[in-house]
Amino acid sequence: MEAAMRSFFLHLAQNRTLSNLAKRYGLRYGAQRFVAGETIDSAIETVRKMNQSGMAVTLDHLGEFVEDERDARASADFCLRTLEAIHNSGVNASLSVKMTQLGLDIREDLCKAHMVEILDYAARHDIWVNIDMEDFSHCQITLDLFREFAASYDKVQTVIQAYLYRSEKDVEELAQMGANIRIVKGAYKEPPTVAYPEKSDVDANYKRLLDIHLPSPGLTSIATHDEQMIDHAKQVIQQHGLSEGQYEFQMLYGIRTDLQEKLVREGYPVRIYVPYGDDWYGYFMRRLAERPANVGFVLRGILH
């Protein structure tokens, strides 16, 4: 039943018509639990609160799978404005971007030009940029472009998904080049030809990827709400005597805030992924897919 619900929501996440409708009608159906408002001001306000609680933030101006050149330009401008707001307000935040929002599906050179603008601005103001990992069809190109960017910029990171069979080899190579990576389980609908269908295999692979990357020179962001993964990471951190700057824990805004606060109390570096903007639909559907019990929020949102 849970697997069927997961598949249902991941299928809905890809529906462009519903996504466009959602933009028109604004943040609703309980999505506010996971999205920090539609404007940059509301996002910065949330960042301040998280910073006051001892947590850093990575801000994501929501958007993905853009098919029109003007929309890709508008997304790049939003990313630049987000960086400007981070710089002007002095908050402790980085930027997370999805390359399909910057035109990757239109033309690679267009996306690359937008990324270079973003990375140049961020480097001038000493702000980290993370390139989120999207569905499998974008994995190779994302890693290829990341490698190019990492050759010119220090504070750039990408994401590796533990559900992919290929990830162990990717992490071995990335660890060797001292790359900065965020390790996640993976949030898209992928076939068993490319991704482990069983959660137990994904979890085992997640731990393997931590074992490989944590001791390497690059930054490892341990992005999960799973206490077993977190406990495993803590053991590796202790075993290798790793210091702050080599790793951080990351969680999503609105999920397991108790665990976020516990890690801060224990003295670990914690960064929260805070999405904002009107393109909230696909992100929200993926959060419902991860935990179908969240549907209760939707029902309450509709009834109120």
Q: Does 183 bind ligand FDA (CB under 6 A)?
A: no
- Residue in 71, 168, 211, 290 binding ligand FDA, rule: CB under 6 A: 290
- Residue in 159, 171, 175, 181 binding ligand FDA, rule: CB under 6 A: 159
Q: Which of 170, 182, 278, 279 is catalytic?
A: 182
| Cα 68 to Cα 80: distance, rounded to the nearest angstrom | 19
Q: Does 91 bind ligand FDA (CB under 6 A)?
A: no
Assess whether 279 carries a catalytic annotation: no
Q: Does 273 bind ligand FDA (CB under 6 A)?
A: yes
Q: Does 29 bind ligand FDA (CB under 6 A)?
A: no
Residues 86-111, buried b or exposed e (16+ Cβ, 10 A)? bbeeebebbbbbbbbbbbbbbeeebb
- Residue in 31, 104, 181, 184 binding ligand FDA, rule: CB under 6 A: 184
Smallest gap from residue 11 Cβ to ligand FDA (A): 16
**Binding string, residues 186-215; x marks residues near ligand FDA by CB under 6 A:** xxx---------------------------
| 70/281 with CB nearer ligand FDA | 281
Q: 222: which residues sit within 8 A by CB, 6+ positions away?
A: 183, 210, 214, 229, 230, 233, 247, 248, 249, 250
Residues comprising the chain, all counted: 304
Distances from the Cα of 1 to the Cαs of 6, 7, 195, 283, 292, in angstroms?
9, 10, 20, 22, 10
Element at 272 (helix H, strand E): strand 270-276
Mark residue 241 as left, alpha or beta (left: phi above 0; alpha: psi -120 to 50; beta: remaining). Answer: left
Q: Does 85 bind ligand FDA (CB under 6 A)?
A: no
Q: Which of 105, 132, 170, 203 is catalytic?
A: 132
Smallest gap from residue 57 Cβ to ligand FDA (A): 10
Q: Does 223 bind ligand FDA (CB under 6 A)?
A: yes
- Give the residues across from 182 on adjacent strands: 159, 221
| Cα 112 to Cα 17: distance, rounded to the nearest angstrom | 27
| Cα 92 to Cα 115: distance, rounded to the nearest angstrom | 21
98 in Cβ contact with 134 (< 8 Å)? yes
| 44/159 with CB nearer ligand FDA | 159
Assess whether 132 carries a catalytic annotation: yes
Q: Does 252 bind ligand FDA (CB under 6 A)?
A: yes
| 71/226 with CB nearer ligand FDA | 226
CA 72 to chain CA centroid, Å, is 19
* Residue numbers at the binding site for ligand FDA (CB under 6 A): 132-133, 159, 161, 182, 184-188, 223-226, 250-252, 255-256, 273, 287, 290-291, 294
Residues marked active site are found at 132, 182
